[in-house]
């Protein structure tokens, strides 16, 4: 009965939430919580975009076709929702013009004196270079520092992933260093560059920067 004394929001600040919308060259970008009914769209895009995604993502167990099949989404969704309810994760779906376009997640949330987490994302190959990932990163970063009460976010990217490096730089993250043989990706231990940003560095917010520089506009 003691657990009833604590409001739900105190255990998972910042989730669920809806963020945006912002208009970018690819369309109108919004961010919302992951849903069980995302299964069909999630699987369709993931299976189609294997060549676009697999080279950058951690090596998984089993075949890509199995890990990203329609029937594999419910367990992933349930795990993400469980982490979110415990305040350890902020899992979101990215949409463009109302349609499923990718995912963005704030994970490994640590509170107390650190108040930090990592941010990771992927978007459909059909909208790469359309400003979608940059807008989503800006929206979620501002949300993490405001409603979710975090102080620092970091992202790790392979040096060869030029598209993701551009996303983080345009969104306002700075490069901190190189993690050698950091993560098992595509079957081998790969170096990753570490990017980060703290709340103090964002000023009026990363979304505000995108609006000011003309990279996005309110939809």
Neighbouring C-beta atoms of residue 5, cutoff 10 Å: 7
Question: How far is the C-alpha of 47 from the C-alpha of 64, rounded, in Å?
Answer: 8
Give the model's pLDDT for residue 12.
75
In the predicted model, is pLDDT for residue 40 greater than 60?
yes
In the predicted model, is pLDDT for residue 13 greater than 90?
no
Give the model's pLDDT for residue 48.
97
Q: Between 152 and 1, where is the model more confident?
A: 152
CATH superfamily entry for domain 19-212: Gcn5-related N-acetyltransferase (GNAT) (3.40.630.30)
Computed over every residue of the chain, the mean pLDDT equals 93
Domain ranges of the chain: 19-212
In the predicted model, is pLDDT for residue 1 greater than 60?
no
| pLDDT band at residue 187 under the 50/70/90 scheme | confident
Pairing of strands 152-157, 19-24: unpaired
Q: The dihedral of CA 147, 203, 89, 104: what is its sign?
A: positive
pLDDT digits (tens, 9 = 90+) for 22-33: 999 999 999 999
| The pair of three-digit structure tokens given for residue 194, joined into one six-digit string | 């570490």
CA 66 to chain centre: 23
In the predicted model, is pLDDT for residue 10 greater than 50?
no
pLDDT digits (tens, 9 = 90+) for 164-185: 999 999 999 999 999 999 999 9
Question: How far is the C-alpha of 95 from the C-alpha of 49, rounded, in Å?
Answer: 16
To the question of pTM greater than 0.95 for the whole model, the response is no
In the predicted model, is pLDDT for residue 4 greater than 80?
no
Does residue 205 contact residue 142 with C-beta atoms inside 8 Å? yes
| Closest by CA position to 86, among listed 9, 11, 4, 144 | 11
In this prediction, what percent of the chain has a pLDDT beyond 90? 90
In the predicted model, is pLDDT for residue 6 greater than 80?
no
Does residue 140 contact residue 18 with C-beta atoms inside 8 Å? no
Give the model's pLDDT for residue 121.
97
pLDDT digits (tens, 9 = 90+) for 50-92: 999 999 999 888 899 999 999 999 999 999 999 999 999 999 9
| The pair of three-digit structure tokens given for residue 146, joined into one six-digit string | 């405001």
Give the model's pLDDT for residue 8.
37
| The pair of three-digit structure tokens given for residue 100, joined into one six-digit string | 């499923």
| Closest by CA position to 27, among listed 166, 162, 135, 104 | 135
């Amino acid at each position: 009965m003691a657990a009833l004394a604590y409001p739900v929001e105190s255990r998972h600040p910042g989730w669920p939430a809806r963020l945006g919308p912002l208009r970018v060259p690819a369309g109108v970008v919004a961010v919302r919580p992951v849903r069980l009914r995302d299964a069909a769209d999630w699987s369709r895009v993931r299976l189609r975009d294997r060549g676009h995604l697999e080279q950058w993502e951690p090596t998984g167990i089993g075949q890509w076709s199995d890990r990203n099949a329609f029937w594999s989404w419910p367990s992933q969704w349930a795990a993400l929702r469980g982490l979110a309810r415990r305040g350890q994760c902020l899992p979101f779906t990215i949409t463009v013009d109302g349609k499923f376009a990718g995912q963005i997640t704030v994970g490994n949330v640590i509170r107390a004196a650190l108040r930090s987490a990592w941010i990771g994302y992927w978007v459909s190959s059909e909208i790469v270079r359309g400003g979608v990932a940059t807008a989503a990163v800006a929206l979620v970063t501002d949300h993490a520092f405001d409603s979710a009460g975090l102080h620092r976010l970091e992202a790790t990217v392979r040096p060869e992933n030029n598209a993701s490096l551009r996303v983080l730089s345009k969104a306002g993250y700075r490069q901190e260093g190189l993690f050698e043989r950091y993560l098992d990706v595509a079957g081998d231990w790969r170096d990753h560059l570490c990017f980060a940003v703290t709340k103090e560095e964002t000023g009026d917010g990363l979304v505000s920067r995108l609006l000011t520089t003309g990279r996005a506009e309110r939809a």
